[in-house]
Amino acid sequence: MIVGRQSEFESLQKKYASETFQFPVLYGRRRVGKTTLINQFCLGKKAIYFVAVQSSIKENLAILSMQILNVLAPESPQNTFLSFREAIDFVFEKARTEQFILAIDEYPYLAGADKSVSSILQAAIDKYQADSKLFLILCGSSMSFMEKQVLGYESPLYGRRTAQYKILPFDYLDSAPMLPGFSNIDKIILYSITGGIPEYLARINNHLSLKENILELFFTASGRLYEEPYNLLKQELRMPETYNAIISAIAGGNSKLNTIAAKASIETSQCSKMLTTLNELGIVKREYPVTEKESKKTIYLLNDGMFMFWYRFVLPEMSRIEMGLGALACEEIFSGKLHEYVGHIFEKCAMQYLWHKLKVGGLPFSFNQLGRWWGNNPKEKREEEIDIVAVNNDGKAIFAECKWRNSPASLAVLKELERKSDLFGQYFKSGFVLFSKSGFTEELYDVQAKSDCLHLIDVDEMFR
């Protein structure tokens, strides 16, 4: 069963149906579901699936040879090919007369073991592709490597790929089918702490409560996600301790380059480069007001919900968790801290809702850009923030506010949003949208009934 990857799966199926040479490239961070997608696609098809290992080319060639011969020549002696070139030529020769898949997972490990691998593949593609039925998949978790060394202009493979798929975490809607039995509010919370990563969502036990799941995964020393962020940093990066310090600084509320560098005790130039790497991995995002181009207002935020949750709540409690007091630490975050944390992710969910509705034609307005806004109020001489501003090329703007509270949003919320929207004098106001965890007051519903430009969205509506 394919969950959340229908468009990628259908695209791969369509390309396979052409029975011509195809070379799709898949990449995305670890645990995001790349391998699951490939395995689902290969079901019922003749396929060689090879996972490269972080070792020598000799060991990788031995494993690859076994996989190739098991599928394409099971009756022949299971000898290792003399070289990677010989193995690839054998595959391409076979693909002249029959269609099959060669999927190479963790390709950066293979290319790292022998720098000539990409050039050998490029030569084989150029030689055989005209009359080939091979469906060649390259897949990797190192996004910077895949973008630069496979898809990039300087790569020998540049221009050869027939499709590319950047596999991203699920949004809150795609996460929902993996969380049966939970309320829509709990689904938002679970999305917030897993970051929409399929493997983490799959760890949620629907026979346990929300709190019991969080306790078992994060606040128990044997929990699956207890040390997950730091393990990922060690797998992906050199100097994981320094990256850890940078992420901790951001999780602690530091968002500007100079303050992050100071908190992490590194030079600003080094910090800038490392933030770029974290941005490429999807852990950190660079953000600036939606109506402006990148400027001095640029800030850095954690983009991965699981990293954000772990650094905010788990890392400071590791001593107590190791002493068996994780239940106490978990109980404390449910007393109020978790509520504030989810409020920030709720804004992200609201943006995803608006993009989804725009895609399916469920909005009475259109937009080209969507994001947060912050800036100076010259009249009040203070900084103002708006949770969501959506603008289009015609100079129209939609303003939205998100409230993750236990009480209904009131008319005062709308009035405050209207006041802040006056700062956008160059835009024509097309409407206002309020998102609320706990619904809205009757007074607000009355205003909506008399207005075409006010839209009230509660959590249940976000899942319809």
Q: Find residue 113's DSSP bridge partners.
A: none
Residue 351 in any domain: the answer is: no
Separation in Å, CA 313 to CA 46, 165, 199: 47, 33, 21
Domain check: are 270 and 288 in the same one? yes
In a domain, 319, yes or no: yes
For the four alpha carbons of 174, 179, 182 and 186, in that order, the dihedral sign comes to: negative
Nearest Cα residue to 435 out of 364, 357, 359, 353: 353
| Residue 357 covered by a domain | no
**152 and 221 share a domain?**
no
Does any domain span residue 354?
no
Residues 130 and 191 in one domain: no
**One domain for residues 179 and 327:** yes
The one-digit pLDDT tens for each residue of the chain (464 residues) are: 678 899 999 999 999 999 999 999 999 999 999 999 999 999 999 999 999 999 999 999 999 999 999 999 998 887 899 999 999 999 999 999 999 999 999 999 999 999 999 999 999 999 999 999 999 999 999 888 999 999 999 999 999 999 999 999 999 999 999 999 999 999 999 999 999 999 999 999 999 999 999 999 999 999 999 999 999 999 888 899 999 999 999 999 999 999 999 999 999 999 999 999 999 889 999 999 998 876 678 999 999 999 999 999 999 999 999 999 999 999 999 988 898 899 999 999 999 999 999 999 878 788 999 999 998 888 888 999 999 999 998 888 999 999 999 999 999 999 999 999 999 877 888 889 999 999 999 999 999 999 989 999 999 999 99
Same domain for 301 and 430, yes or no, is no
Closest C-alpha to 68, from 83, 55, 84, 87: 87
The answer for residues whose C-beta is within 8 angstroms of residue 126's C-beta and 6 or more apart is 160
Total domain count for the chain?
3
Largest CA distance in the chain: 82
Determine the structural domain holding residue 67 and report its residue range. Answer: 6-166
CB contact burial 242-262 (16+ within 10 A = b; e otherwise): bbbbbbbbbbeebeebebbbe
The answer on 244 and 111 residing in a single domain is no
Residues 209 and 278 in one domain: yes
Same-domain status, 128 and 146: yes
Residues 131 and 264 in one domain: no
CATH number of the domain at 183, please: 1.10.10.10
Residue identified by tokens 């129209």 is 396
Asked if residue 248 is part of any domain, the answer here is yes
Closest CA to 440 of 418, 420, 461, 421: 461
Which CATH number is 51's domain given? 3.40.50.300
Please give the Cα distance from 158 to 148 (Å, whole number): 9
Shared domain for 108 and 202, answered yes or no, is no
Asked if residue 450 belongs to a domain, the reply is: yes
449 plus 369 within the same structural domain: yes
* CATH code, domain with 434: 3.40.1350.10
Identify the domain boundary among 105, 136, 166: 166
In a domain, 350, yes or no: no
What one-letter code names the amino acid at 64? L
Q: The whole model's pTM is what?
A: 0.92
User: What count of other Cβ atoms lies within 10 Å of the Cβ of residue 176?
Assistant: 21
